[in-house]
Amino acid sequence: MSWPPARRPGARRPEREYEKVAAPKKGRNAGAQSKPWRSLALILIAIVGLTAGMFASGQTTPRLGIDLAGGTSITLRAEPEAGQESAINKTNMDTAVSIMERRVNGLGVSEAEVQTQGDRNIIVNIPKGTNSKQAREQVGTTAKLYFRPVIAREAGGAAPTPEASSSPSAGSGKAEDTKEKDGKKDESSSPSPSATSQGRAVTDGLKADASPSPKASESKGSGDGDGGGKGDASDPQNSKLQAEYAALDCTKPDQRTTAGKGAKPDEATVACGQDSQGQWQKYLLGPAEVDGTDVDDAQAVYDTQAGTGWKVTLGFTDKGSKKFASITGKLAQQQSPQNEFAIVLDGNVVSNPYVTQSLSSNAEISGNFTQESAKNLANVLSYGALPLTFKEDSVTTVTAALGGEQLRAGLIAGAIGLALVVAYLLIYYRGLSFIAIASLLVSAALTYLIMSLLGPAIGFALNLPAVCGAIVAIGITADSFIVYFERVRDEIREGRSLRPSVERAWPRARRTILVSDFVSFLAAAVLFAVTVGKVQGFAFTLGLTTLLDVVVVFLFTKPLLTLMARRKFFASGHKWSGLDPKALGAKPPLRRTRRPAGPVETKEA
């Protein structure tokens, strides 16, 4: 967000203003008084402009946070692996955010937002209407990145793939051609001794089947399965996978998310993925050969030498490069699509490059990458190498009913607060309160408009603490008027008429307002920069309204008072104007000459 930098100009201003006022005397009445209409026009233009902007952006209300709109908000904390404290840095956190965004939006949630907060937290906001439990599961689990050999691949749904760009498209028929070889290879490279049935049980499809397959056949199962095809009915699990593959329709979002769910890395599985044309494809994949954690580093680079455009370079750890060399060595001898390996993130195929030769520690993936797609892939790849795990720090689920109620309560509280302040001002300042109330309204309008615009602009969401901040700010805003009005009144008490009083009071009031607003803003800025979570939302509104307060006082209240001072109602000190010299106890001129010293001194007050 853009306002910590804004603090600097703010920081200098009060001092500068102070210099100006400290040695005043001349030209005190100049500037400010001269063009009140201009300032008023300026603020009017600002309001109109912002309103137009608001309607143009299509967001006519501030975006509501989870606690007001209902939904689930999850705060995750990054935990570095032992000895890798430096792993918590911006790049890694951003990578993690982009991965989580993928996952949450994979649920078919359109408005879920994922953002970093502070230096080690990630906030995931999922609006209402989503299965919060499923969302939590998605976010809470650690991302799993695997390199799996492709056994079969075909267009995922009703729409046939016109062409797969990075690799020649192939049907499942081809996969069967080379089944023998493929099967053997997988068997040798990855024996899967573990209790696979456990992992499988999670898969929805298998639950119904409840296959009591013995482990012995399973360990081979994956190998057989690759080549076994439909004919191999003796292995129920394997045929199940085939059936699953056949039935899988990757164009359907719900199938995409469940496909291959719960698959163990050392088993074959099915998965979905988009090719570079954005077409969904389905895959039948062998057991994972290389883990995401084997990746040391991945970067998107522009190939200037060959001029082939963007590519992704990959570096592996020692262990990883051995595995990678072995798998690529085997894959290179295969035909398409079995010479491909799929990069599978969370059960989704993000890329399926084909292998032309055995590769060792360093590899590169080239193809029709744009800068963006190359960077995305590099991000995904390096995520596997992130030495971070994420822990749930807090999960807040707010039903839409409660959210609405809280919003209403906040609004009512604000209305009550505003009404009380207005009533107090009316009683105390009478006619003068018209200016104060008008200023408060302008301030409120500006706050509303800017909040609405900040929604689309920087993802600002109005939550309950932010509402509190805005309500508390009513006091700060009103105080600026009080400071100024009291100064004006002091001047009137000196026996001045209204117009000079307004002008004379301004420089001093201005300084006080700037100094005190600066302190208030400083508090908000520090809170915003340092804290996390709800405190931050509060600090943001407080800072915003403090800034607006300065704008409104300078561009609206002061010029309006200048103009009003010309009206007879105020200038003559009407009884109800709040500026009645008699009621204020102004010293009549006669007395003033008799005892001038008192007023002379207090004038500086």
Q: Which of residues 449-478 bind another protein (CB under 8 A)?
A: 464-465, 468-469, 471-472, 474-476, 478
Give residues 550-589 in contact with another protein (rule: CB under 8 A): 578, 580, 583-587
From residue 392 to residue 431, the character string flagging contacts with another protein as x (rule: CB under 8 A) and all else as - is xxxxxxxx-xx--xx--xx-xxxxxxxxxx--xx-xx---
Closer to another protein by Cβ: residue 235 or 580: 580
Tokens 């700037």 correspond to 514
Closer to another protein by Cβ: residue 121 or 279: 121
**Cβ–Cβ under 8 Å, residues 140 and 392:** yes
Give residues 533-552 in contact with another protein (rule: CB under 8 A): 533-535, 538-539, 542
Stretch near another protein under the rule CB under 8 A, chosen from 200-208, 257-265, 322-330, 386-394 = 386-394
437 binds another protein (CB under 8 A): no
Give residues 104-123 in contact with another protein (rule: CB under 8 A): 118, 121
Closer to another protein by Cβ: residue 269 or 520: 520
Beta strand 309-316 with 362-369: parallel, antiparallel or unpaired?
antiparallel
229 — phi, psi (to 5°)?
Answer: 65, -165
In the complex, minimum distance from the CB of residue 571 to another protein, in angstroms, rounded to a whole number? 17
In order of 47, 243, 553, 560, the CA distances from 440 in angstroms are 14, 68, 10, 13
Closer to another protein by Cβ: residue 62 or 465: 465
| Sequence letter at residue 575 | K
Closer to another protein by Cβ: residue 52 or 202: 202
Tokens 């009017």 correspond to 44
| Sequence letter at residue 304 | T
598 binds another protein (CB under 8 A): yes
Distance CA 230, CA 150 (A): 17
Size of the residue set binding another protein (CB under 8 A): 105
**Cβ–Cβ under 8 Å, residues 331 and 167:** no
DSSP label of 540: H
Burial 25-34 (b: 16+ CB within 10 A, else e): eeebeeebbe
Angle subtended by helix axes 400-429 and 433-458, to nearest 10: 150
**Cβ–Cβ under 8 Å, residues 66 and 125:** yes
In the complex, minimum distance from the CB of residue 482 to another protein, in angstroms, rounded to a whole number? 5
| Cross-strand bridge partners of residue 282 | 154, 272
Closer to another protein by Cβ: residue 289 or 494: 494
In the complex, minimum distance from the CB of residue 526 to another protein, in angstroms, rounded to a whole number? 4
Q: How far is CA 521 from the centre of its chain?
A: 23
Give residues 17-36 in contact with another protein (rule: CB under 8 A): 18, 22, 25
In the complex, minimum distance from the CB of residue 401 to another protein, in angstroms, rounded to a whole number? 6
Give residues 473-532 in contact with another protein (rule: CB under 8 A): 474-476, 478-479, 482-483, 486, 489-490, 493-494, 508, 511-512, 515-516, 518-520, 522-524, 526-527, 529-532
In the complex, minimum distance from the CB of residue 484 to another protein, in angstroms, rounded to a whole number? 10
Give residues 320-349 in contact with another protein (rule: CB under 8 A): none
Stretch near another protein under the rule CB under 8 A, chosen from 12-20, 204-212, 228-236, 559-567 = 12-20
In the complex, minimum distance from the CB of residue 508 to another protein, in angstroms, rounded to a whole number? 7
From residue 342 to residue 381, the character string flagging contacts with another protein as x (rule: CB under 8 A) and all else as - is ----------------------------------------
In the complex, minimum distance from the CB of residue 461 to another protein, in angstroms, rounded to a whole number? 15
Closer to another protein by Cβ: residue 190 or 477: 477
Angle at 235 between CA 233 and CA 236, to 5 degrees: 85
Q: Any residues with CB less than 8 A from the CB of 162 and at least 6 apart, and which? A: 277, 279
In the complex, minimum distance from the CB of residue 207 to another protein, in angstroms, rounded to a whole number? 20
**Cβ–Cβ under 8 Å, residues 541 and 516:** no
DSSP label of 496: -
In the complex, minimum distance from the CB of residue 256 to another protein, in angstroms, rounded to a whole number? 24
Closer to another protein by Cβ: residue 414 or 456: 414
For 204-254, the DSSP string reads: HHHHHH-----HHHHHHHHHHHHHHTTT-TT-HHHHHHHHHHHH--TTSHH
From residue 51 to residue 80, the character string flagging contacts with another protein as x (rule: CB under 8 A) and all else as - is ----------------x-------x-x---
Closer to another protein by Cβ: residue 234 or 399: 399
Burial 350-371 (b: 16+ CB within 10 A, else e): bbbbbbeeebeeebebbbebee
In the complex, minimum distance from the CB of residue 254 to another protein, in angstroms, rounded to a whole number? 19
Q: Is 516 exposed, middle or buried (0-12, 13-18, 19+ CB in 10 A)?
A: middle
Structure tokens at 261: 């769910």
Stretch near another protein under the rule CB under 8 A, chosen from 260-268, 319-327, 390-398, 561-569 = 390-398
132 binds another protein (CB under 8 A): yes
